[in-house]
Amino acid sequence: MHAVPSSTDTHSRKVRGDWTPINYDLHDTWFPVSHSRDLGARPIRRIIHAQTFYLWRENGQPVAAEFHPYRLRDKAPVLTAFTAGTGFYPLVERYGYIWVWYGNPDAADRLLLPHIPFLPQDGSLPGYTQRTVRFDATSALSVENLIDLTHADFLHANTIGDGISESDEVEVQWTSETVTRTRTVAQKSVAPIMRWVGGVRAKYQDFRAVLHIHLRSNVCISYPRFRPGYDVPNLQPFLPVGKHRSRCDVTFNTTAAPVPFRYVMPRINYIIQPQDNSVVRPQNQRYFDTDERRDLHSRFDTPGTRYRYQMEQLVERQRAGQFAYGSDAEPGRDISALLGMND
């Protein structure tokens, strides 16, 4: 894994000036398409790019197919290479999610599932930890919004920010398949939600947040730590529904936090999502405009430009027919230390 402070990451400056987040359709990866608790005998529908997935349970076991089960009984449904002509996708149920394979089914390997150390594999977290939000932007732009450091303290100042982003230290690490951003701030004003419902009475707190991103699947594994305060580990996977839409089935593991913080924090997305949407919606539309444009960057944007650069490299490999994971990737490796959980 490569690692540098953001101010010295010169490679990220090589990103194309005409970068467009709608260009990425990466194959051979596991997508978490639904919370396990949302899946029952009645089929539900999900879309990854233009590919349709129908999900349901048979005798308690999850099933993923290209067509509604009624259509599968027809004599001649048109099946695609995504299911090798069988009509059914490779599927794994883990961490409280239904994961489906998007790509060549012969390449599906459970070892390529991301490691999420703060979620139980059997999905046994209580229902209050999970929420679903939607964004009026492509998944890549939604991920960039999560990476971005300049907006959170201002746009979300009434919940998790404080209107100041001057003393941040940022480090970026990457492999051929992942990008990891670590943000550290000392003596930051206590986040409003920590004061209101978390019982933190101090004026200042130290803050460290690690964001680990799997490029192919837009799976964002986040581990924020507030001291005084609590750890707020969360999973935010952005499903690429279309050029103007992404879906995020979020899980916040706040079970170790006190009441009422443990119940309120997972619901914070219902406040933050409209705020983010007000920004990413017009941004997303501008990428469809034919007029000349230029993206502007500040010193806090290095994680985002590194994300763009690594995405472009991955796209070029897949365009050349190279879908295998690099030797440095290891999507399923234990990332507990990387997230700072062992500190």
| 211-254 tens-digit pLDDT | 999 999 999 999 999 999 999 999 999 999 998 999 999 999 99
pLDDT score, position 97:
98
Residues 241 and 282 in one domain: yes
Residues 57 and 155 in one domain: no
Alpha carbon distance 81, 217 (integer Å): 19
Residue 246 lies in a domain: yes
**Residue 18: pLDDT band with limits 50, 70, 90:** low
Residues 179 and 63 in one domain: no
Residues 112 and 143 in one domain: no
Question: What is the identity of the amino acid at 198?
Answer: G
Once rounded to an integer, what is the mean pLDDT over residues 317-329? 95
Look up residue 249 and give its two tokens: 């089935």
Instruction: Indicate which CATH number applies to the domain containing 154.
Output: 3.90.380.10
| 32-69 tens-digit pLDDT | 999 999 999 999 999 999 899 999 999 999 999 999 99
Residue 18 lies in a domain: no
Residues 274 and 309 in one domain: yes
Residues 146 and 215 in one domain: yes
Dihedral angle at the C-alpha atoms of 251, 116, 96, 43, nearest 10 degrees?
90
Instruction: Indicate which CATH number applies to the domain containing 65.
Output: 2.102.10.10
pLDDT score, position 165:
57
Of 23, 22, 58, 18, whose CA–CA distance to 42 is shortest? 58
* Greatest mean pLDDT range, 85-99, 162-176, 180-194, 280-294: 85-99
* Local structure of 194: helix, strand or coil: helix
Q: Write down which residue in 70, 97, 126 finishes a domain.
A: 126
Residue 176's Cβ-count burial label (10 Å; 0-12, 13-18, 19+) is middle
Q: Which residues constitute the domain of residue 120? A: 29-126
**Residue 7: pLDDT band with limits 50, 70, 90:** very low
Query: What secondary structure letter does DSSP report for 283?
Result: H
Residues 81 and 8 in one domain: no
Residues 74 and 206 in one domain: no
pLDDT(11) > 50:
no
Once rounded to an integer, what is the mean pLDDT over residues 142-148? 92
Q: Work out how many domains the chain is built from and give that number.
A: 2
**Residue 301: pLDDT band with limits 50, 70, 90:** confident
